[in-house]
Structure 1
Amino acid sequence: MAGRSPTVNQEAGHSSAADSELEPEVFCKLCLSQQPTAASRELQSCRCMFCTACLQQYVQLAIMEGGGAPITCPDMACQKSGVLLDSEISSLAAAEQVELYQRLKFERGVKLDPSKAWCPVLECQAVCSVQPSTEGQPGAVACPTCQTVFCSGCRGLWQDGHACPEQQPMILSSLSNGSSDADVSIKQCPMCGIYIERNQGCAQMLCKSCKHTFCWYCLENLDGDIFLRHYDKGPCKNKLGHSRASVMWNRTQVVGILVGVSIIVLVTSPLLLLASPCILCCMCKPCSSKKKKKKKQQKKKDVSQPDRSTS
């Protein structure tokens, strides 16, 4: 009995190694590699799976650069565009980063909420409720903490005869120098209202907060303008910031991609129809379980045969 125990332990060790080799893996689209299921995470909102290490790096970067915006699924092709839950963010980031994200998220919510406003007094910075005024005109807001009364539009102190424009722009040095609105380096996103700075580059802007694409000059929506036709006519004609050759090259690339995808679909569709029975057979659970059992039995036989020859 004592002489057989090493053989039994050896067979057990080989069987455990075989089980680890048969462990299912997940392809992570962030690191582009196969990862074990135990080292992967599934997002609850969209069911997309990534390795935990990549998700941790992605969440940390999104907290530092997102400004409190919702952290969405890192897969750009995700059809549901899932948003990570607070519990998922807490499990993927450090405690101080989670606290920073919650603070930025709250500040962003106050900034985007027309019924709320920050008290302009630096020593106070309380959240005040803004009552809707008649005909959309700015009104007086009283801070419940420091009792300061300020304008809901320009955030200036409310005084007798206070006049506030309909839209109070951000105070910029470029405007004070007498330059036009097109030369302003900071504007608000027309979708979410967050401030965006443009140092250089083309006039087609992408908001990092809400993923909205718009023209820098006229703030028109460019989400569906894949050929950049907006800059062919109208007041923004030839203001894209690129040469005519680069624009034509961009359109050629877009057309080439669309034509390539259509050709691939036309070519592969008959092949997919012919191969569909084989694909369904491979995906059948009883067949896959039988194949796994056969592999395990074959490996056990390969392990046991050398042991018998030596005995």
Structure 2
Amino acid sequence: MDSEYQDADSDMDCSDIDIVDDDYYNDNDDNDMDQIDPLIRDPEYFVYDCLTEEQVERLLNEKVEQLSNYLRITPSLAKVLLHGHKWSVSEIVNKYRENASALLINSKIKPTSVVHLQGTSSKYINCPVCTVSQQCDKFCSLLCGHKFCRDCWTSHFEVQINQGISTGISCMARDCEVLAHEDFVLKHLTQSEMREKYQQFTFQDYVKSHPELRFCPGPNCSCVIKSPEVKAKRSVCEYCKTTFCFKCGMDYHAPTDCQVIRKWLTKCADDSETANYISAHTKDCPKCHICIEKNGGCNHMQCYKCKHDFCWMCLGDWKSHGSEYYECSRYKDNPNIAHESVHVQVNVSAREALKKYLHYYERWENHSKSLKLEVETIDKLRKRINQKVMAGLGTWIDWQYLFAAANLLAKCRYTLQYTYPYAYFMETGSRKQLFEYQQAQLEAEIENLSWKIERAETTDRGDLENQMDIAEKRRTTLLKDFLDV
């Protein structure tokens, strides 16, 4: 057995915060507003740091050293314990005091029972994997006691690492869950490239298991966000400027919480084909408005519920068609052929559910598209301001309020977009009525602000800034009342 690992086993058995904003969230508050507690002024206020990989490694190593010194174990074993307990030193120490053996077994450091090999006078052992007979000093094992030759250990680790596995590498023996700690793995990796890949993967696993750390989801960005508050709050990477939710790592989605936005995005993906099918294959009866699906060749339809006869193509009364039948039909059915039987399917609840979904989805998608168009608005503003400055009509600074208005518009519209998934999953009641009222008020003020920005040439600056203040107050009021964190 590896002596370094045995030693570790014996020891164990003994008793200036940055708040970063992007263009959507540029604050342009007056000086008197700056004196107000940010937690009161801004419901999205969030304390966090943007750390480099080196800073994160130092932070993690401090935890490792603290636990290692307290329990008198190797740093690599301390990492296994910390990774399995969300880097909580106090939790690990408490469990160790209560039952050290149970802690090590549950953490997959020690097995429930150790393998005892039969004694032999031979200096050679057959490897269970490659079946090659080698000297005993060519073999090593984890605390489970399963011995394998060093070459097989190396091959095992390389295969696992190439599959993206690092902290989850276990013993090669069947049904053995004992984990291979960092020192044991690195000792068997001979290629520097493989060692670097393994250390990179373990670092990523450690960060993902730490509740106060979150990788920036920006492309090719190695920044890590750290916050003592594990909340669904807006984080902005100070390096790549990516905005995301700290809790789930997805696009920032206030006031909708992480679980609801996942359900919404999944529903949008799953229901897209359903919506297309119903739009293409079903229509509402022009008299009673019940959903009807056509599965026959004839365009003469009779509603199953109210018995109304109508044309499938134009929804007109069938009796009034006469010789004009073919003028509205996309199909050239032979009038001499007897009408096919038409089976009419009625599913009111499914139809209403789809209508509800499409109501919210269309508004969600509309504001998403509007946000993209706001970029064009800013470009137009920039050109107009350049023309004014060149014509001597004020300086560039004099016209910055227009950019502030455009950025606030995008900020408000972004929040409004994410109110629709929130409303979709809300239960009917007084709280939903209040939410929809505030939602409608916010949407009205956003459209007023958008209208005035587009006509900034004729809009009084005071009037525009007043509209900005109203829109932002509507937004923050809604968030204060409904942002659950």
TM-score between the two structures when normalised by the length of structure 2: 0.27
Which has more helix, going by share of residues? 2
More strand by share: 1
Larger radius of gyration: 2
* TM-score under structure 1 length normalisation: 0.40
Q: Which has the higher contact order (CA 8 A, sep 6+)?
A: 2
